[in-house]
A and B are shown apart, each in its own frame.
Chain A
Amino acid sequence: MKKIILIIFLLFSFTAGLVYCDTLSSHFDKANTLFEEKDYIKALDLYLKIYEQGFYSKDLFYNISNTHYRLGNIGQSLRYIEKAYRISPRDSDIRFNRKLLYTNTGQTENVWESIIGFLSINELSIICLVLVSLIFIFLIISKFITKRWLYWVKFGVISLTIIFSVWLYASYLIFYKNPYGVVLPQEINAYSGPSLEQTISFTVPAGQKIVILGKSNGWLDIGVKKDRLRGWIQEQEIGII
């Protein structure tokens, strides 16, 4: 009896999952149709509904970025293309749009970021997982077989594991240790402290990518890497990538 209940529960869950995915897919298709009809506001609304369901898809982010661009929200457009880029850094469409948005906002891509970002953090994680597993598999094999080639295979796998682990850590440091954000309004002031009464240190244009270093009472401590500037900006003016 217990087995029957378990099977029924699993079947029900699977069916519900399929129906849920199908609903989201139809939302996605509908949003695409609205985009084609140039009803960008409704299209964006539908795309964002899918995103709010917890979907983390490169195509979804790419289309959201496109829609924001058509609506003239360059900051939001850059924010979502960055999200798409982090999932799929070698997608030619994503790369093209990201480069164009960078050019439009007067920014240039950091060379190290483009090298380290060639593989996404998930791809690097999978590679490291496979390599670590291989190390232990070959260590087990070497308990039973003692061959010269096995030594070199182990050496190669361990070397690759070290390289990819360092790459993974560098990717984490560059892209995830301190979260990034994008300036959403046209141009905002960065203050010397988390208050409007503080001195305005510098201004940041819309679409400028900034690194978030800290947070305090609705204010974000931000840094502009290329200019080596640091200041405080109100949280609602930043779209976190």
Chain B
Amino acid sequence: MKKILYIFSIILLLLSCMSYLYADNVSISADVNNNVISVDDNVVLTVTVSGDAKNLPEPELPQLNGFTAYSSGRSQNISIINGRVSSSLVYNYVLSPRTAGTYKIGSVVLKYKGNEYKTDSIIITVNPASPAPQTQIGTTAQPSQVKRAQQKSAKNIFITTHIDKKTAYVNEPITLTFRFYSRVNILSRPAYSPPVTTGFWAEDLPPQKDYVGTYNGVNYKIIEIKTALFPTAPGAYTISPAQLQCNVEDFSSDIDDFFASFFSRGKTVTLESKPINVKIKPLPNQNKPDSFSGSVGAYNMSVEHDRDIVQAGEAINLIVKVKGTGNIKSIGEPVLKNTSNYKQYDTITSHNISKQGFKVSGSKTFKIVIVPKVSGNIELPDVVFSYFDIKSKKYKTITSIQKKITVAPGQIQQSDKTGLAQTALTRDVKVIASDIRYIKKAGKLKSSKLFIYKNLWFILILLFFPALYFAVIGAVFYNEHIRRHGELYRRKKALKNSLNKIELAVKKLKKGDKNVQQVLFHALSGYLGHKFNLSPSGLTLKTVIEILEDIGTEQIVLGQIKEIWEELDFMRFAPSQITEQKVKELTQKLKKNITQWEKKIKI
């Protein structure tokens, strides 16, 4: 297998070498567009060189007696088929006759790889100038002598700009033509500054044309550039001059032609055309359709839709194509009418522009998405497009042909809880406009403060529970303290309790009740009992005296206590023998002494 591949590769290599050896099948031919011309005509000489090679040289023109030759460009076509290169070159020359007569154009010679290829010679008859007008640039034909005189006095290089109409409507196309005339060699690539076209939407109109023509009877090499202008608003506008800068051969007229070719030198020339005034008229308001959106030109419209059967809620694409001549980019969106059964969404646009024949034409496509809201056989919305027709100077409206589609009901609702199935068309809630909700008529005029915590009741409630808590804490603590330190408490309270009882006795006495001895005795025994942390009920005078002596109480105090105790004891057991006066004295005595005892009895 490897051997076969090896042999096959060698054969391929040999074949490719042979193809190289047998290459260079070069041929050359020459032809003219007209063999009989008048002296003010031109003849185009076409030389075609073809061969299996890539880099073919330029052919050599023979001596052209009686003609002035200009090159008007060349075109090349290279093709590679099965690795073999074939090339075809076409050279165009414009031959301008100098005088009438019969001339023979010799063979055009091509030298390639040591070989010389020749064309057949061509005979051209040049007749004297015909009376017919010159057609190329709009100038009238001149007799050859006059022409020659003109050629001598005419400018060698200049530019012009002109427009096809001086008055136009808004958005009506105007063609601006720029021409560069030259009859000298250009030594550098010209720098072209197009005119400023403020107030116009400009579209280039390619291709650039290069040809030979006459201007005022003088032959020039002409470069022509066209631009389409679409006025955007009415008013008077000026198209500013175009400018062109180039480097050209400079010949002194005083020097002989022979020397001129040796002493020619370059010079930079800046050329400027004249400004052009244009008047732009507004579009007429009369009979302007509602659906008109500014399109000017000549248009037609086609409408297609992608589906004939849909479910409610599903989208349909309406493809609206507006085709014609005019400012394609500015074509406004067609209007949909009778859309109550549809919901319309955003439109997607695309355009296709052609500039053939130096005219802006093409189409703009609008893809409009619509969704049917109802079911049944319903008509598609009418598509209406209006434009201002340039030719008739009238508004024209195109309306689409009415078409119907079938809309099936939308989603089927699931069975409800009762098992009854319902079928219903899904309908969107149609929002007409957003508005605020209505006033609160049944609203209550209930006042509420901005900050509720500034109310007194709020503060009181807020403080109440903490205060209650701390009160409880205090009470609990106090009880606990009493529980732990009852002796001390009783001692501290002894005087106060006794004084309270004495006050009770005083009040009874004031009311005329003299039987207060029991109260007074309890005041005394209670005081001493609490002081000594003993039960007052079982307290005896003897016990009291012993305790007081133990703690080193003064004898005076002991005597006072003993005296009062015995007097009260006596009064308790013999109440009939006491007088009111005696009770009062004893009460005052007890009150006075008990206060003194508080300071003198130290426990």
Q: Could you list which residues of chain A lie within 8 angstroms of chain B, going by C-beta atoms?
A: 21, 24-25, 28, 32, 35-36, 50, 54-60, 62-63, 65-67, 69, 77, 86-87, 93, 96-97, 100-101, 103, 121-122, 125-126, 129, 132-133, 135-137, 139-140, 143
Please provide the 4 A-B residue pairs with the shortest distance between their CB atoms, ordered closest to farther. Answer: A59-B443, A136-B465, A122-B452, A136-B469
- Bound Cα distance from A132 to B453, whole angstroms: 13
Say if the beta carbon of B456 comes within 8 Å of chain A. no
Nearest CB in chain A: distance from B511 CB, A: 30
Residues in A neighbouring B434, C-beta threshold 8 A? 100, 103
Query: Closest CB-CB distance, B169 to chain A, in whole Å?
Result: 39
**Complex: A101 Cα to B437 Cα, angstroms:** 11
Known: A69-B436, A129-B458. A122 touches B469 (CB 8 A): no
A89 to chain B, nearest CB (A): 13
Interface core residue of A25, A50, A103, A139 (most chain B CB under 10 Å): A139
B445 touches A21 (CB 8 A): yes
Are A24 and B461 touching (Cβ within 8 A)? no
Which residue from A24, A54, A143 sits with its C-beta under 8 Å from B473?
A143
Is B424 an interface residue when CB atoms closer than 8 A count as contact?
no
Q: Which residues of B have CB within 8 Å of A126?
A: 452
Q: Which residues of B contact A96 (CB under 8 A)?
A: 436-437
Question: How far is A121 from B454 in the complex, measured between Cα atoms in Å?
Answer: 12
Cβ of A63: which chain B residues have Cβ within 8 Å of it? 439-440, 443
Q: Pick from A21, A103, A129, A135 the residue with the most CB of B within 10 Å.
A: A129
Shortest distance between the CB of B597 and any CB in chain A (Å): 40
- B441 CB contacts on chain A under 8 angstroms: 32, 36
Determine the distance from Cα of A133 to Cα of B464 in the docked complex, in whole angstroms: 8
Closest to A29 in B: B441
The answer to whether the Cβ of B446 comes within 8 Å of any Cβ in the partner chain is yes
Q: Which of A24, A36, A97 makes the CB contact (< 8 A) with B445?
A: A24
Please give, as numbers and ranges, the residues of chain B lying within 8 Å of A59 by CB-CB distance: 440, 443-446
Known: A62-B440, A93-B437, A129-B462. A56 touches B448 (CB 8 A): yes
Task: Report yes or no: B446 in contact with A57, Cβ–Cβ below 8 A.
Answer: yes
Q: CB of B466 within 8 A of chain A?
A: yes
Interface of A is mostly: helix
In the assembled complex, the CB of B535 is this many whole angstroms from the nearest CB of chain A, namely 32
Q: Cβ of B469: which chain A residues have Cβ within 8 Å of it?
A: 136, 139-140
Q: Could you say which residues of chain B place their CB within 8 Å of the CB of A121?
A: 451-452
Which residues from 456 to 511 on chain B have a C-beta closer than 8 Å to any C-beta of chain A? 458, 461-462, 464-466, 468-469, 472-473, 476
- Given contacts A136-B469, A140-B468, A100 and B447 within 8 Å (CB-CB): no
Give chain B residues whose Cβ lies under 8 Å from the Cβ of A135: 465
What is the chain A residue whose CB lies nearest that of B458? A129
Cα A37 to Cα B70 with chains together (Å): 91
Q: List 13 A-B contacts (CB under 8 A).
A: A28-B445, A35-B439, A57-B443, A59-B443, A60-B443, A60-B445, A66-B436, A67-B439, A86-B450, A87-B448, A122-B451, A122-B452, A135-B465
Q: Is B438 interfacial (CB-CB < 8 Å)?
A: yes
Q: Does B602 contact A (CB under 8 A)?
A: no
Q: How far is the CA of A219 from the CA of B468 in the complex (A)?
A: 49
Given contacts A59-B443, A66-B436, contact A137 B465 (CB under 8 A): yes
Contacts A66-B439, A136-B469 given; indicate if A54 touches B447 (C-beta within 8 A).
Answer: yes
Q: How far is the CA of A36 from the CA of B442 in the complex (A)?
A: 13
B444 pairs with A57, CB closer than 8 A: yes
Q: Is B449 part of the contact surface with A, judged by Cβ < 8 Å?
A: yes
Which residues does chain B contribute within 8 Å of A25, judged by CB atoms? 445
Inside 8 A of B436's CB, which chain A residues have their CB?
65-66, 69, 77, 96-97, 100-101
Docked-complex contact A125 and B452, CB < 8 angstroms = yes
Would B451 and A125 count as touching, CB distance under 8 A? Answer: yes
Assembly CA distance A135 to B452 (angstroms): 21
Least CB distance from A132 to B in Å reads 6
Q: Which residues of B contact A133 (CB under 8 A)?
A: 461-462, 464-465
CB distance from B431 to the nearest CB of A (A): 12
Contact A132 B472 (CB under 8 A): no
B448 with A57: CB separation less than 8 A:
yes
Contact A56 B452 (CB under 8 A): no
Contacts of B450 in A (CB 8 A): 56, 86
Report how far A35 CA is from B458 CA in the complex, Å: 37
- With A54-B447, A59-B444, A101-B436 already in contact, the answer to whether A143 and B462 are too (CB < 8 A) is no
Q: Looking at the complex, which one of A21, A93, A100, A132 makes contact with B462 (CB distance below 8 Å)? A: A132
Q: Are A66 and B438 in contact (CB under 8 A)?
A: yes
Chain B residues with CB under 8 Å of A58's CB are 443, 448
Cα–Cα, bound, A69→B252 (Å): 86
Select from chain A the residue with minimum beta-carbon distance to B446: A57
Q: Which residues of B contact A69 (CB under 8 A)?
A: 436
Chain B positions within 8 Å of A56 at CB level: 447-450
Q: How far is the CB of B40 from chain A (nearest CB, A)?
A: 73
CA distance A143 to B270 in the complex (A): 109
A86 nearest in chain B by CB position: B450
- Tell me if A55 and B439 are in contact (CB < 8 A): no
Q: Which residues of B contact A65 (CB under 8 A)?
A: 436
Q: CA of A87 to CA of B443 in the docked complex: distance in angstroms?
A: 14
Q: How far is the CA of A137 from the CA of B472 in the complex (A)?
A: 11
Q: For B466, what are the chain A residues with a Cβ–Cβ distance below 8 Å? A: 132, 136
Q: A32-B441, A101-B436, A139-B469 are in contact. List 5 more A-B contacts (CB 8 A).
A: A32-B439, A57-B446, A63-B439, A100-B434, A121-B452
Q: Which residues of B contact A139 (CB under 8 A)?
A: 469
